Amino acid sequence: MTIQTIAPHDLQTAIASGIAVDLIDVRTPEEFAGAHVLVARNVPLGGLDARALLAQHNAASTQPIYTICAAGTRSATAAEALIAAGAPLVLSVAGGMQAWIATGLPVVGGKRVRRPSKSTLLAIGAVAALWVAIAAFWGQSDKPAVHSNLPAPLVDFSRDVVEASKTKPVLVDFFATWCEPCTMLAPELESVADERRDRVTLLRIDIERQEDVAVAQKIEPIPDVRLWKGGHEVAHFIGFKPRAEVAAWLDHELKAP
């Protein structure tokens, strides 16, 4: 089933217009308390009763039901349940709260989730573009980017990260396809890791495809890059870094006892 989505900005526009918006946040109460959209009501996915929700919404209403979660996976599942129960129109918020916050839209809650502002993202993009141009001019980038647009393979975190790191360090890149800094960082990470393939393994985890892992690892701002050694996380950084900084950081951490 293909679930219709709505961009965070478009939903905020509807809220600001004064339209009665029925937004169901299907995350856990702990996640909801951390940060949520003002008009949202918390109905965790595990306890969602689609027919009861539909009755509360009033099936005769012409307004859609909106669903939201951390990154979109649970939201789509809830939307499917509501449609199966007879809801005429359900829209899942594209990218979930991750995208909502990254867009700079307002949230309420006791936990301040740090995200780069739009101006910051633009500045990051400009710096990244300048760095790439300089590197190309001086011949510092002697090989094409190895980044692929194919979906990241699913990762068994316990096996592929925790256990695998006991024999060889594992570098984990938590990202999302809608995240501009993530897109810029990917080729930098892949190039650095490829040159050190005998010393480290790079794994990329799409927080939308593996939302359970992102929640378990408490991933909030992205990109979030974490190094695991000996079955434990030993270092991490958040946000874009140019290749030289990534290489220096990784070399330092790999040498650390």
Q: Please indicate, yes or no, if residue 108 is contained in any of the structural domains.
A: no
State yes or no: pLDDT of 154 exceeds 70: yes
Backbone conformation region of residue 139, classed left if phi is above 0, alpha if psi is from -120 to 50, else beta:
left
Encode pLDDT of 97-114 as tens digits: 988 988 888 888 744 434
Q: Please indicate, yes or no, if residue 220 is contained in any of the structural domains.
A: yes
Does 42 lie in the same domain as 18? Answer: yes
Does 161 lie in the same domain as 36? Answer: no
CATH code, domain carrying 124: 3.40.30.10
pLDDT at 104: 83
69 noted as active-site residue: no
Mean pLDDT of 137-161: 64
Amino acid 41 reads R
Written as six digits, the tokens of 182 are: 């993530």
Q: What is the largest CA-CA distance in the chain?
A: 65
pLDDT at 144: 39
pTM of this prediction?
Answer: 0.50
Does 122 lie in the same domain as 209? Answer: yes
Does 88 lie in the same domain as 123? Answer: no
Does 68 lie in the same domain as 13? Answer: yes
Q: What percentage of the chain's residues is helix, strand, coil (to nearest 5)?
A: 45, 15, 40
Written as six digits, the tokens of 170 are: 């594992």
Does 165 lie in the same domain as 61? Answer: no
Does 179 lie in the same domain as 77? Answer: no
Count the domains in the chain: 2
Does 237 lie in the same domain as 154? Answer: yes
Written as six digits, the tokens of 207 are: 């927080």
E-strand ranges in 26-116 read 41-42, 65-68, 90-93
Mean pLDDT of 57-68: 77
Encode pLDDT of 179-198 as tens digits: 878 888 999 999 999 999 99
Count the helices and strands in the chain (H runs, E runs).
Answer: 9, 9
Domain carrying residue 22:
5-102
Which of 70, 179, 193, 202 is catalytic? The answer is 179
Does 157 lie in the same domain as 232? Answer: yes
Does 133 lie in the same domain as 57? Answer: no
Does 14 lie in the same domain as 90? Answer: yes
pLDDT at 126: 55
Which of 182, 184, 186, 200 is catalytic? The answer is 182
Encode pLDDT of 88-99 as tens digits: 899 999 999 988
Q: Please indicate, yes or no, if residue 86 is contained in any of the structural domains.
A: yes
Does 249 lie in the same domain as 137? Answer: yes
179 noted as active-site residue: yes
